[in-house]
């Protein structure tokens, strides 16, 4: 069965981790090459029966991954796929807290292409938020949809010239993530921002309410028809002159096989840029003012300005 030889490779190779110590890039590369040879090459041939065999492969490999915090999160998904906790662990990027065996399984997960993209997307959004919030005079109303841990805004906060003129509404279903954001922004920094526990698809967004609207992880998990409907609602919720920042994965810029076979993280849709252009048109959105890519090239951010 697919996965048996890969698990045997992982078990045998990780047993030698003590010889190399932590953060040995050559040893990590050995794990990457073995992943390609013993899992991904075979998985590419088996894609036609991916659902049944993929689930069996996940079960076989779960004991290897779940000893680390990220590995446990993305093989069990206690808060649902793409959880705020998974994002936090990817942002922290700290595999040194474990024994050597788990250090390398976590480091392998933390250095896959989409993990790099998550961190790079955070950086790009942080810079966009600093520019948008500092560049707007007077009060600014902000909507963060499916906010997760609000990492980009956390890092932007010291550079926002007057955060008290910002009124944030952050929506997410994850109560723990929202509680963490309340503790950080409300209690630590005294900002009366709203962290609402609600399904982003059901929340009333109103009409012409916000100056800056964004979401970074939600859109990839939505069917195209739902995506079109939500983008239309976001555009209607934007004030004249508002900025929308829409982040999506470019399905042609990364290989999804690892996420289908090694770990159960394939709930997101794989779409090329042309599909997003069609979705924007169907939603009635204007052409983007700019189209940006994160450093990995896997994530595209459409910056859209609503006509004043």
Instruction: Based on the fold, state whether residues 44 and 140 are members of the same structural domain.
Output: no
Which residues, including other chains, have CB under 8 Å from residue 281's CB and lie 6 or more apart?
none
Q: What is the pLDDT of residues 137-150, one digit of tens each?
A: 999 999 999 999 99
Query: Tell me, what's the pLDDT at 184?
Result: 97
Query: Tell me, what's the pLDDT at 136?
Result: 95
Quickly state the pLDDT bin for 3 (edges 50, 70, 90). Answer: confident
For residues 23 and 28, what is the distance between their CA atoms, to the nearest angstrom? 8
pTM for the whole structure: 0.88
Instruction: Based on the fold, state whether residues 179 and 300 are members of the same structural domain.
Output: yes
Ranking 41-55, 160-174, 245-259 by mean pLDDT, the lowest is 41-55
Instruction: Based on the fold, state whether residues 92 and 210 are members of the same structural domain.
Output: no
Instruction: Based on the fold, state whether residues 90 and 137 are members of the same structural domain.
Output: no
Boundary of a domain, candidates 62, 87, 111: 111
Does pLDDT of 248 surpass 80? Answer: yes
3-state secondary structure the chain: CCCHHHHHHHHHHHCCHHHCCCCCHHHHHHHHHHHHHHHHHHHHHHHHHHHHHHHHHHHHHHHHHCCCHHHHHHHHCCCCCCCHHHHHHHHHCCHHHCCHHHHHHHHHHHCCHHHHHHHHHHHHHHHHHHHHHHHCCCCEEEEEECCCCCHHHHHHHHHCCCHHHEEEEEEECCHHHHHHHHHHHHHHCCCCCEEEECCCCCCCCCCCCEEEEEECCCHHHCCHHHHHHHHHHHHHHEEEEEEEEEEEECCCCCCCHHHHHCCCCCCCCCCCHHHHHHHHHHCCCCCCCEEEECCCCCEEEEEEECCC
Q: Tell me the residue range of the domain where 56 lies.
A: 4-111
The closest of 294, 84, 69 to 184, measured between CA atoms, is: 84
Instruction: Based on the fold, state whether residues 164 and 293 are members of the same structural domain.
Output: yes
Angle between helices 4-14 and 100-110 (to 10 degrees): 130
CATH of the domain at 192: 3.40.50.150
Query: Tell me, what's the pLDDT at 49?
Result: 58
Instruction: Based on the fold, state whether residues 161 and 99 are members of the same structural domain.
Output: no
Q: What is the pLDDT of residues 45-89, one digit of tens each?
A: 876 555 778 889 999 999 999 999 999 999 999 988 889 999 999
Boundary of a domain, candidates 55, 90, 111: 111
Query: Tell me, what's the pLDDT at 50?
Result: 59
| % residues pLDDT > 70 (the chain) | 99
Number of domains within the chain: 2
Boundary of a domain, candidates 47, 78, 111: 111
Instruction: Based on the fold, state whether residues 158 and 298 are members of the same structural domain.
Output: yes
Q: What is the pLDDT of residues 185-217, one digit of tens each?
A: 999 999 999 999 999 999 999 999 999 999 988
Instruction: Based on the fold, state whether residues 21 and 74 are members of the same structural domain.
Output: yes
Instruction: Based on the fold, state whether residues 183 and 145 are members of the same structural domain.
Output: yes
Instruction: Based on the fold, state whether residues 132 and 41 are members of the same structural domain.
Output: no
């Amino acid at each position: 069965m697919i996965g048996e030889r890969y698990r045997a490779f992982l078990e045998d190779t990780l047993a030698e981790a003590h010889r190399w110590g932590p953060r040995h890039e050559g040893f990590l590369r050995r794990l990457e090459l073995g992943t390609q040879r013993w899992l991904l090459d075979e998985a590419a041939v088996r894609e036609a029966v991916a659902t049944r065999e993929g689930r069996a492969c996940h079960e076989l490999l779960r004991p290897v991954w779940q000893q680390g915090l990220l590995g446990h999160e993305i093989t069990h998904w206690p808060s649902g796929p793409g959880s705020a906790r998974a994002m936090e662990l990817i942002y922290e990027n700290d595999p040194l807290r474990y024994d050597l065996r788990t250090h390398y399984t976590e480091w392998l997960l933390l250095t896959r292409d989409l993990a790099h993209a998550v961190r790079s997307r955070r950086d790009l959004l942080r810079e966009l938020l600093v520019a948008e919030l500092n560049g707007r005079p007077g009060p600014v109303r902000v909507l963060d949809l499916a906010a997760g841990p609000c990492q980009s805004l956390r890092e932007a906060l010291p550079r926002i010239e007057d955060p008290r003129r910002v009124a944030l509404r952050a929506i997410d279903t994850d109560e723990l993530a929202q509680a963490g954001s309340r503790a950080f922004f409300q209690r630590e920094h005294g900002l009366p921002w709203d962290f609402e526990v609600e399904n982003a698809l059901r929340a009333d967004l109103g009409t012409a309410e916000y100056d800056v609207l964004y979401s970074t992880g939600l859109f990839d998990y939505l069917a195209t028809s739902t995506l079109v409907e939500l983008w239309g609602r976001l555009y209607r919720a934007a004030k004249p002159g508002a900025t929308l920042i829409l982040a999506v994965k470019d399905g042609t810029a990364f290989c999804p096989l690892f996420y289908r076979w090694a770990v159960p993280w394939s709930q997101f849709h794989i779409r090329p840029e042309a599909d997003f252009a069609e979705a924007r048109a169907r939603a009635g959105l204007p052409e983007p003012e700019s189209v940006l890519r994160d450093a990995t090239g896997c994530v595209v951010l459409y910056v859209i300005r609503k006509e004043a």
